[in-house]
Amino acid sequence: MLPIIFKIGPFTLHSYGLMLALSFLAAILLLESRAKGSGLSKDVIMDFGLVVMMASVVGSRAFYVLSHWAEYAPRPLTALAVWEGGLTFYGGVLLAVPAGVIYLKKKGIAFWPLADMAAPAFALGLGIGRFGCFLNGCCFGNPSSLPWGVKFPADTAAGAAFSCALHPTQLYETIFGLAAMVLLLWLGKRKHFPGAMFCLFLGMYGIWRFLLDHFRYYEDSQIGLLGLTNNQWISLGLIVFALASSVVLWKNNKPAKRE
């Protein structure tokens, strides 16, 4: 809807880049606030947030570029223009989680408790970031006749692809992200085994994304086996991972029965 906020000489402020920066800032501040009283230093939390942020940007951009290589092959350097849009959430998760694990292992800090604290922050970042997608006119939905269908300007990717109203799938994800954050913050106050909140977030997002992709537009190249999108297959894998991890973590933290 508003890909470019303003231009001053050679400087251009892209709405997507701005919202991406705000999403990471808000997520790190929320994590820092939740980590108070955990015994972890502010520096460790900030460094952890920066490691995850950098890894998620690299992973999400790399995943998007590789899955749309035909668009970037003629001009490979445009793959670096992250501020113009083109990030895949799952690519960020696939790199950010291992990066976070490695960082915490080097610091001698348990991963799952901190992952639980970070889960609402991830949800908040997702919600803000997807609003950036809406402003940028990317990650759009299929044609829609619903009252809330949105017609995007012709200078956006959505407007160039369709001249009719579309499902605002970006806003659907924004709503999910903010709702998930509230739910995780509420449930996080209750007693649970380490890793429960993080696995819950992964499972919820996997289910949500699998359903959402029925309304989101994809090129034919992104449709895979059984007519499911590549992201839907990843969603199924994420759901299985979240369930399996939850069972294992729950069993490992069950109080031993007394003979």
pLDDT in tens, 31-74: 988 888 777 888 888 888 889 888 988 888 888 888 777 777 77
Record the tokens describing residue 9, joined without a space.
Answer: 């000489």
What pLDDT is attached to residue 215?
Answer: 96
pLDDT, tens digit, for every residue of 146-168?
Answer: 999 999 999 898 999 999 999 99
Output the CA angle 15-45-24, nearest 5 degrees: 5
Q: Stretch 168-185: mean pLDDT, rounded?
A: 97
Model confidence at 90: pLDDT above 90: no
Is 154 among the domain residues?
Answer: yes
Is 204 among the domain residues?
Answer: no
Is 104 among the domain residues?
Answer: yes
What pLDDT is attached to residue 57?
Answer: 85
Gap between the Cα atoms of 12 and 102, Å rounded: 36
Q: The domain containing residue 108 runs over which residues?
A: 4-189
Is 114 among the domain residues?
Answer: yes
Range list of H helices, 35-88? 42-67, 69-72
Distances (CA, A) of 216 to 167, 209, 223: 7, 10, 12
pLDDT, tens digit, for every residue of 106-147?
Answer: 999 999 999 999 999 999 999 999 999 999 999 999 999 999
Record the tokens describing residue 19, joined without a space.
Answer: 């919202």
What pLDDT is attached to residue 84?
Answer: 63
Is 95 among the domain residues?
Answer: yes
**20-34, 35-49, 175-189: which has the minimum mean pLDDT?**
35-49
Q: Stretch 80-99: mean pLDDT, rounded?
A: 79
10 or 229: which carries more pLDDT confidence?
229
What pLDDT is attached to residue 112?
Answer: 93
Count up the domains in the chain and report the number: 1
**1-15, 110-124, 203-217, 226-240: which has the minimum mean pLDDT?**
1-15
Only one residue has tokens 């959430």, namely 89
Asked if residues 135 and 15 have their Cβ atoms less than 8 Å apart, the reply is: yes
Only one residue has tokens 């998620």, namely 56
Q: Residue 160 contacts by C-beta under 8 Å, 6 or more apart in sequence?
A: 154
- With cut-offs at 50, 70 and 90, classify the pLDDT of residue 259: very low
What pLDDT is attached to residue 131?
Answer: 95
Is 130 among the domain residues?
Answer: yes
Q: What is the pTM of this model?
A: 0.89
Distances (CA, A) of 82 to 19, 61, 62, 149: 12, 7, 10, 27
49 or 182: which carries more pLDDT confidence?
182
Is 149 among the domain residues?
Answer: yes
What pLDDT is attached to residue 151?
Answer: 96
% of the chain surpassing 70 pLDDT: 97
Phi and psi dihedrals of 229, rounded to 5?
A: -75, 160
Mean model confidence pLDDT for the chain: 89
Is 87 among the domain residues?
Answer: yes
